[in-house]
Amino acid sequence: MNLQLLQTRLAYTFRDTGLLQQALTHRSHSAVHNERLEFLGDSILNCVVASILYERFTNLDEGDLSRLRANLVKQQSLFEIAQKLELSQFLRLGEGELKSGGFRRPSILADTLEALLGAIFLDTGFDAARDVIRAFIIPLLDTVDPATLGKDAKTLLQEFLQSKKISLPTYNVVATHGAAHSQEFEVECLVPKLNVQVFGRGGSRRAGEQAAARLALEAAQAALTKSPSSRKSKPRAAQLKLGIGTIQGDTASAPTEQPGNTPA
């Protein structure tokens, strides 16, 4: 296990490598594990993110700031940051967790990221932990629209469809790609009433759903700009152009044309 590689990705070098080892250790591995560090890191993360939001969004009130922070520090966001760090290759898991695929479980990866932040705080202090947090939160914030309070694509799609009294979308995993430790999931999102069928890809099922939801929201909004008569006269086979979006972190790529109505 090349811990120097992880430290390079974090842009932080531990003085006490024992803290680093502990932060990467799941309770299934040994009695000395990372749960207390996770508790500490969670508090530091919330504090730093609150400070960043306070500085950046001067017009948001306390309630909106709280909702935005909650969307930034939720498990899915932390999981996607952990994926960028390729944290799964550094985890210390018990045999049972290894066999059951714990190295790609969002909860374990998100918790480990928080434990790392707690370990950095104990190793050097608050300023070092703050710098590491800012390095991955600021790029995330650059993709956030404060008008939506950081809501993810699935939530925005759901709210949009509900406002139009349209049934909620369905999501289906249609394919997986890559090796077990770095799988990519291809997910279909369907909104039958609007003849919307799109595909998204991501490093987890949730990330794939988010990518698909983002494309589906764009397609649903486009469909509703057309007159009702034109939608009714259009045969079901002539669906909106299919696309594939990819989420790496919190961003989705632009749609790319698919050759047909079924995923590759």
In sequence order, the 6+-apart residues with CB closer than 8 A to the CB of 103 are: 88, 89, 91, 93, 97, 181
In sequence order, the 6+-apart residues with CB closer than 8 A to the CB of 77 are: 71, 140, 250
Catalytic entry in 114, 123, 218, 250: 114
As given in the structure block, the two tokens for residue 156 are 């925005």
Q: Which of 204, 176, 11 is nearest to 103 (CA)?
A: 204
**Cα(218)–Cα(196) distance, rounded to whole angstroms?**
10
As given in the structure block, the two tokens for residue 69 are 């922070």
**Cα(120)–Cα(128) distance, rounded to whole angstroms?**
7
Contact assessment for residue 93 and residue 26, using Cβ atoms and an 8 Å cutoff:
yes
Is 111 assigned a ligand-binding role in the annotation?
yes
Is 80 assigned a ligand-binding role in the annotation?
no
**Cα(106)–Cα(104) distance, rounded to whole angstroms?**
6
In sequence order, the 6+-apart residues with CB closer than 8 A to the CB of 38 are: 111, 112, 114, 115, 118
Catalytic entry in 42, 152, 186, 218: 42
Told to judge if 114 belongs to the known catalytic residues of this protein, a careful annotator would answer: yes
Catalytically annotated residues: 42, 114
The annotation places the binding site for Mg(2+) at 38, 111, 114
